[in-house]
Amino acid sequence: MFNFKKILALSILLPMSIMVKAEEIGYVDTVFKFFGANHKIVIEAFDDPEVKNVTCYLSRAKTGGISGSLGLAEDTADAAISCQQVGPIELSEKVLKGKNRGDVVFQKRTSLVFKKLQVVRFYDKNRHALIYLTYSDKVIDGSPKNAISAVPIMPWKE
């Protein structure tokens, strides 16, 4: 049976279980808002916690205005991702034994409760590459908007 309290608790606690923090690199304003912050595109960077020397850069929409400034607005599902090898790659056992459904490596809340932006990693053993997928989901209705980035695992040359 549908249990609203359990879904609410999970939607609040699940993003806290993934401790990867993104560092804001910068932003551009896209729409001027007379009251509150402007609408923006924010660029953030985070390191994959299970793959040493892979950094992902994520651009995402951030809603401004009064509701956005108070953290009450819902951001759109628009995002893009680019992941790069920044040193010799070291894969953890978790990555090597990866599952077909991928492993969540990053989440960010994009509404007060029910919506989040996620980055999921897949390991393509046949092509020796890592694939990162970003998408937005809601408890009830997600979005098909998505973006991917592939990182070939190659010997590092300095």
What is the residue-wise DSSP string for 26-81? EEEEEE--SSSBPEEEEEEEEE-TTEEEEEEEEEEEE--HHHHHTT-SPPPS-EEE
**What percentage of the chain carries pLDDT values higher than 90?**
39
CB neighbourhood size of 101 (10 A): 8
Q: Find all residues with CB under 8 Å of 126, minimum gap 6, and list them.
A: none
Determine what percent of the chain is predicted with pLDDT higher than 70: 80
* Mean per-residue pLDDT over the chain, rounded: 81
The residue that leads in pLDDT, 123 or 142, is 123
* pLDDT tens-digit series, residues 21-61: 889 999 898 777 778 777 788 899 999 999 999 999 999 88
What per-residue confidence (pLDDT) applies to 84?
96
pLDDT band of residue 72 (cuts 50, 70, 90) is: low
pLDDT of 14 higher than 60: no
What residues contact 139, with CB distance under 8 A and at least 6 apart?
Answer: 7, 11, 114
pLDDT band, residue 111 (cuts 50/70/90): confident
Q: What is the pLDDT of residues 92-106, one digit of tens each?
A: 988 988 777 889 999
pLDDT classification of 69: cutoffs 50, 70, 90: low
